[in-house]
A and B are shown apart, each in its own frame.
Chain A
């Protein structure tokens, strides 16, 4: 009985002393924190995706509270609605922002881009890019290993097994930019979403000279400048053999799309262009020009069965047969 009593007293006293000590320390080293940070954090989506440029939603909330105006601070996930809420809490006006979406600027499908080798290393774009040009001859295009897919927290980007390219699901994309950062070839761009998603994009990132670009990919931009000439809004610039459409100036007239000889310019979320003449006659000839490579109908199958167990050069066999 006595023993129990003693232990109770000892433990109780220890606890009491510790409590007093802790209270004193807590008072002494108190960190003053703006209570609005918690409020702002609650208003943010809590995805911690880092799309705003900060380490997470908490860091973003702190930055918002500290900032004198909300210009330049944007939560891409929540968009304008969330920023308005944040603005209400802080008594500031949120800057108007236009919703953006990720666009994969490559249309080098299996049919258009002949495979020249088969990669059997680790299936990540970063490693493939550090080792060599990739399975096709194009050193600018999508590698199709899906580093962007792994980076996306919103399940908004996937590799299409039919084309071997990354495709963005615009309904899910929040433009956090994680995929753009993950892409070693910098082909993913955050672009203005546009009304109902309608926008004109050059789906190519190839800065090679025209002939070489076309040899490696039938859908490549060859930098011919026709689009620049037909554009009545001064929205297109050709630099380094590559056309780029300024989304702010583009009026969606689609003249460039009709004029593009290789079909590199696309109207996304727009009905197909009726009078668009496909360069069907040019296609087989250019494929022959492709030299080493040959269209490989099994391409889609290869991509599905990652990682490929076999390494082989299709063209090596051709050479050996010669």
Chain B
């Protein structure tokens, strides 16, 4: 069975808590807080004002640049204010506050369950629709999807790789989405293939989801050019570069984008959103997220409208158990512990993991024994122990030289370290600093021109 070549670890997947739990809709909140930054790139610019009445699906903020995404209203009601809000980590962000009244949708949105398999739109129109619907990569990075579908001149996409891997332990939202809404995802795949002008797509699914593999294989057999690639269980297979290596055996060079090797990678949840946007005129206003944990009463997969406070979702899942020590936004490998649960769910929110006190205790680090386990585990072929040391010594130049920017924050180094050294903490810090230095340099170079 196929997998990627360099590094990787095998954490226990812990998906049993929420696997095969039907997707349940979370009731509408009384007040929705919609952040203006829910994607990578420039913040969206609000087009509504205080006091405006909005309907579900109405444009709230337009894209702030090419790499940016518009934001639509997930609820109907009145705009209460546009002000700062606190995100999950206590930092401030701009957000639109809406007092929810009823649930009135824009008339052009098709809310029926009918499957619309065919589209007469051409490539440009499909991409335009995706762009206007504010669709971003729902795998976690939230990179605006329309940018991926418009390869730079001279580059040609050859194959669409569909990410149904869900390699993060605990999370099951993509798995359940494939089981329940596979047909829609398949139409989404066809739409993206049409938009890119290609006739080949590979759906990568890890072998801990045999039912999803079977289901998708069954659906793919009806569509020409689409195949399912079962993959060996290995983290971080859902990383873009790892998945390309696993599915088509090509390695994306350092610092390059997947299009360099002719691949475009999209998550299954993104493809479902593309189907809804193109065929049903429904912009991206909700997503499926997993709420899970050992002591959670009703772990499961919940469909939330953006702007719903996380508290409401946790309430649906039976409240926060008394044993909770940490609540992690996302999965345990890449997610970060949250500072508060009042914050609204957004496009990024793939899951909330409630860890018990014992599970979440961090072991005190001991000295590095130079076992090089982290080097073996790092999927990008870097040397974590060295980078962490350089970061502690604030040697940013050397870190840049050692291609710190190739780090994908997967957490394999930290996971595998027998001395429990806080490698990822230091590497993330260094990556942030080096990224800032590189951006400052680019800005200076641009200003000089």
Taking Cβ atoms with an 8 Å cutoff, the residues of A that contact B are 116-117, 120-122, 126-127, 130-134, 137, 139, 208, 292, 307, 309-313, 315-317, 319-321
B26 to chain A, nearest CB (A): 18
B356 to chain A, nearest CB (A): 10
CB contact under 8 A between A117 and B339, given known A131-B89, A319-B320, A320-B322: yes
B11 to chain A, nearest CB (A): 19
Contacts of B361 in A (CB 8 A): 120, 309-311
Contacts of B320 in A (CB 8 A): 316, 319-320
B426 CB-CB contact with A under 8 Å: yes
- B89 engages A311 (CB within 8 Å): no
Contacts of A130 in B (CB 8 A): 428-429, 432
Query: In the complex, which of the residues B325, B339, B364, B422 contacts A312, with contact meaning CB atoms closer than 8 Å?
Result: B325
Query: In the complex, which of the residues A116, A307, A310, A316 contacts B324, with contact meaning CB atoms closer than 8 Å?
Result: A316
12 contacts across the A-B interface (CB closer than 8 A): A116-B90, A120-B360, A121-B362, A131-B428, A132-B339, A139-B91, A208-B92, A309-B362, A310-B325, A320-B319, A320-B320, A321-B322
Complex CA distance for A150 and B327, rounded to whole angstroms: 31
B85 to chain A, nearest CB (A): 11
Per-position binary interface string of chain B over residues 312-346, scored 1 when its CB falls under 8 Å from any chain A CB and 0 otherwise: 00000001111011110000000011011110000
Contacts of A131 in B (CB 8 A): 89, 336, 425, 428
Complex CA distance for A134 and B336, rounded to whole angstroms: 13
Contacts of A127 in B (CB 8 A): 422, 425-426, 428-429
Contacts of B327 in A (CB 8 A): 313, 316
In the complex, what residue of chain B is closest to A309 when comparing beta carbons? B361
Query: In the complex, which of the residues A132, A309, A315, A320 contacts B89, with contact meaning CB atoms closer than 8 Å?
Result: A132
- A116 engages B339 (CB within 8 Å): yes
- A311 engages B326 (CB within 8 Å): yes
Dominant secondary structure at the A interface: loop
A307 to chain B, nearest CB (A): 7
Please give 11 more A-B residue pairs, beta carbons under 8 A apart, in addition to A139-B90, A309-B362.
A116-B339, A122-B425, A127-B429, A133-B89, A139-B92, A208-B92, A311-B361, A317-B322, A320-B322, A320-B324, A321-B322
Complex CA distance for A313 and B321, rounded to whole angstroms: 12
In the complex, what residue of chain A is closest to B342 when comparing beta carbons? A292
In the complex, what residue of chain A is closest to B422 when comparing beta carbons? A122
B334 to chain A, nearest CB (A): 13
B357 CB-CB contact with A under 8 Å: yes
Complex CA distance for A145 and B240, rounded to whole angstroms: 36
CB contact under 8 A between A120 and B89, given known A130-B429, A311-B325, A311-B326: no
- A133 engages B337 (CB within 8 Å): no
User: Which chain B residues numbered 346 to 387 have a C-beta less than 8 Å away from chain A?
Assistant: 357, 360-362, 364
